[in-house]
Structure 1
Amino acid sequence: MKHSPFIPNFEQLPKFLPIFPLPGAVVLPGVQLPLNIFEPRYLNMVRQALAEQHIIGLVQPAAGDPESSDAIHRIGCAGRITSYSETHDGRIVLVLTGFCRFRVLEEVEPLAGVRRVLVSWDEFAGDYNNDQPKLTDRELFIGSLRSFCNRRQVEIPWDEISNMADNDLVNLLCAHLPLDVGDKQALIETVALQERATLMRGLMDMSALASTNGVILRH
């Protein structure tokens, strides 16, 4: 994935990020996620981001944590607001484009009501590597994807898929296929492309097998 010239160099990435805990929605490097922002606290978050580097950290809430209703998973992905528009009814409609994953080290004092975290990027420095490795089993991966889409009645632009680079393909599918929230988190946390693709293929095969046996998985 070639990074936009508007994204900071890896060495210039911020130590602190505003976070947007959003269940079931994930981004990965190169993936675009449209968002409709209307809650006052998140409108404030977007305004703060637009006043600085346009960067927001998207994280998954840690559902079921007995110690805190505000708990979040420790691995998320940073995205940059690459386009936005304001509506007459007070919403902001934007596109968040993922560019690098991060590990949350600790949550810090909110800024004007916006949750912030201290992060480390080092674990995911490979997200900045333009020379991404290739899948060793792309044909098998595509076969699993076809089976999954047929069983789950998911429409895929196959002509576009065939021309996508391996890394862009896997990241896009991780974000947009109808997978379980926990499965999506596991995919985000898997650092290497081949391992992420292998995990995803296993998840697709299990889902297709369950559908074949008459059990449709609900997400």
Structure 2
Amino acid sequence: MTRLPLFPLPETVVFPGLLIPLFIFEERYKQMTRDLLARDEGERRFVITLAGPEPGKYREVGGYVELLAASENPDGTFNIVCRGGDRCRVGDIGLGEGQLYYSVPDQPFPLLRSDPGSETIAAWDAMEAFREYVAGKADPKALEEALANLPEDPLYQASFLCVNLRVPAAEKQALLEAPSLVDRLELVQSLMRQRPLSSSVSEA
């Protein structure tokens, strides 16, 4: 079975379509970046999972990411940009021969999709809840422009909401692990009601 590099992070949960800028400074992840760059474009995939809560422990569900661009700095560190993909299982963590970083088997964990009508309604409800969530905290015109430019697929609309939800990483992990897309959208609404926004919304 194909194995993919594993990059645990303490505060990052990956959702489809999410652009993730990262600064790579640890030697093991500099090696990971060089190894990925040595592959053909389209084959530069790795896995990000949420680290913790205990030291050395990782969540069992993470997300695929694709390395889109990398710039090496004079000191050997990298600035990279990745794009989030579908979620995956994280298990059988191990070190490959000559590798400093961990890897995991390529184990997809598809999000359950229901009929398009149900997903569209759930996404519409969640977007309306989001407008209330950010009311008075975000520029209304900029918000509507951002929403208008979202893809039609409710999967990516859900990603936008998950990224801009101001909750602890553990609660974003719960969104990632939701059984279905409708469940994810319903949980987003629930979290918005439980945790009203106290600061301005971030950009997706």
| TM-score, normalised with respect to structure 1 | 0.76
Q: Is the 8 A contact 1:104 1:120 kept in 2?
A: yes
Q: Which residue of 1 aligns with 2:51?
A: 61
Q: CA deviation at 1:176?
A: 4.1
Matched, 1:146 2:134: no
Query: Among 99, 102, 107, which residue is 2:93 paired with?
Result: 107
Distance 1:125 1:183, change over 3 A: closer
C-alpha distance in structure 1 between counterparts of 2:184 and 2:111, whole Å: 16
C-alpha distance in structure 2 between counterparts of 1:176 and 1:95, whole Å: 19
Q: CA deviation at 1:23?
A: 1.3
Q: Is the 8 A contact 2:111 2:180 kept in 1?
A: no
Distance 1:109 1:86, change over 3 A: closer
Q: Which residue of 2 aligns with 1:5?
A: none
Any residues of structure 2 matched to 1:1-219 within 5 Å, and which? 15-52=2-39, 53-63=43-53, 65=54, 69-111=55-97, 112-121=99-108, 123-124=109-110, 134-150=119-135, 153=137, 157-164=143-150, 165=152, 166-208=154-196
C-alpha distance in structure 2 between counterparts of 1:89 and 1:78, whole Å: 28
Distance 1:132 1:61, change over 3 A: farther
Residue deviations 1:144-168, cap 9 Å, x none?
21232237x3566321213422221
Q: CA deviation at 1:85?
A: 1.5
C-alpha distance in structure 1 between counterparts of 2:117 and 2:58, whole Å: 29
Please, what is the CA RMSD of the aligned residues? 2.6
Share of identical aligned residues, percent? 25
Q: Is the 8 A contact 2:130 2:161 kept in 1?
A: no
C-alpha distance in structure 2 between counterparts of 1:24 and 1:133, whole Å: 31
| TM-score, normalised with respect to structure 2 | 0.81
Q: Is the 8 A contact 2:122 2:185 kept in 1?
A: no
Q: Which runs of 5+ in 1 are unaligned?
A: 1-13
SS of 1:172's equivalent in the other structure is helix
SS of 1:98's equivalent in the other structure is strand
Q: CA deviation at 1:177?
A: 3.0
Q: Which runs of 5+ in 2 are unaligned?
A: 200-204
SS of 1:174's equivalent in the other structure is helix
C-alpha distance in structure 2 between counterparts of 1:39 and 1:124, whole Å: 31
SS of 1:134's equivalent in the other structure is helix
Q: Is the 8 A contact 1:21 1:61 kept in 2?
A: yes
Letter in 2 for 1:54: R
